[in-house]
Amino acid sequence: MTVTGPQTTAARLVHPAEPGPGPWHRDAVIYQVYPRSWADADGDGVGDLPGITARLRHLVELGVDAVWLSPFYPSPQADAGYDISDHRDVDPLFGSLADADALLARAHELGLKVIVDLVPNHTSDEHPWFAAALASRPGSPERARYVFRDGRGHGGELPPTNWSSAFGGAAWTRVVEADGRPGQWYLHVFDRRQPDLNWDHPEVRADFEDVLRFWLDRGVDGFRVDVASGLVKDPTMPDWHGPLRVQGVDTDGRPHPARDQEGVHEIYRAWRLLLEEHRGDRVLVAEAWVADLDRVARYVRPDEMHQAFNFAYLLTPWRAADLRQTIEASLRANDAVGAPTTWVLSNHDVVRHASRLGTPARGGRMTGIGADDPQPDGPLGLRRARAATLLMLALPGAAYLYQGEELGLPEHTTLPDGARQDPTFVRTAGAEKGRDGARVPIPWEAGAPAYGFSTSGRSWLPQPREWARYAVDAQRGVPGSTYELYRAALRLRRERHLGRGDLRWLDAPEDVVAFGNGDLVVMANTGEEPVPLPDGARVLLASDDLPGDGTLPPDTAAWVVPA
Give the binding site for ligand NOJ (CB under 6 A).
Answer: 79, 82, 119, 190, 226-227, 287, 348-349
- 190 vs 444, beta carbon nearer ligand NOJ: 190
Do 103 and 202 touch, CB atoms closer than 8 A? no
Nearer to ligand NOJ, 312 or 523 (CB): 312
Phi, psi torsion values for 218, nearest 5 degrees: -80, -10
CA neighbours closer than 13 Å in the CB half-sphere of residue 53: 19
Are β-strands 520-525 and 556-561 bridged in parallel, bridged antiparallel, or unpaired? antiparallel
Helix ranges, 344-452 (H): 353-356, 378-393, 423-427
- Complex with ligand NOJ: residue 346 or 543, whichever CB lies closer: 346
Give the H/E segment covering residue 59.
helix 57-62
* Count of Cβ atoms closer than 10 Å to residue 562 Cβ: 17
Residue among 348 and 496 whose Cβ is closer to ligand NOJ: 348
Q: Which strands, in side-by-side order, build the sheet including 7-15?
A: 7-15, 503-507, 512-517, 520-525, 556-561, 538-542
Q: How far is CA 222 from the centre of its chain?
A: 15
555 is catalytic: no
Residue closest to ligand NOJ when measured from CB atoms:
82
User: Which of 99, 196, 226, 287 is labelled catalytic?
Assistant: 226
User: Cα(411)–Cα(435) distance, rounded to whole angstroms?
Assistant: 9
CA contacts within 13 A on the Cβ side of 48: 23
Neighbours of 112 (CB within 10 A): 20
Q: In whole angstroms, how close is the CB of 354 to ligand NOJ at the nearest point? A: 20
Q: How far is the CB of 226 from ligand NOJ (least distance, A)?
A: 5
Residue 239 falls in the annotated catalytic set: no
Strands 512-517 and 503-507: what pairing? antiparallel
230 vs 396 by CB, closer to ligand NOJ: 230
| Catalytic position from the list 277, 372, 466, 495 | 277
Q: Cβ neighbours of residue 257 under 8 Å, at least 6 residues apart? A: 161, 163, 233, 234, 236, 237, 238, 240
Alpha carbon distance 299, 262 (integer Å)? 10
Q: Cβ neighbours of residue 97 under 8 Å, at least 6 residues apart?
A: 89, 90
Least distance from ligand NOJ to the Cβ atom of residue 122, Å: 7
Rounded least distance, CB 66 to ligand NOJ, Å = 18
Contacts of 270 (CB under 8 A, 6+ apart): 205, 209
Q: How far is the CB of 516 from ligand NOJ (least distance, A)?
A: 35
Closer CB to ligand NOJ, 271 or 289, in the complex? 289
Give the residue with the Cβ less far from ligand NOJ, 189 or 212. Answer: 189
Q: Which DSSP letter does residue 167 get?
A: T
Smallest distance from ligand NOJ to CB 435, Å: 7
Q: By three-state DSSP, how is residue 529 classified?
A: coil
Give Cα 200 distance to the centre of its chain. Answer: 27
Closest distance between ligand NOJ and the C-beta of residue 14, in Å?
Answer: 30
Residue 42 to residue 203: CA distance in whole angstroms: 38
Identify which of residues 79 and 436 has a Cβ nearer to ligand NOJ in the complex.
79
Q: How far apart are CA 335 and CA 329, in angstroms?
A: 10
| Cβ at position 536, least distance to ligand NOJ in Å | 46
CA torsion sign, 409 to 415 to 421 to 425? positive
The residues that are catalytic are 226, 277
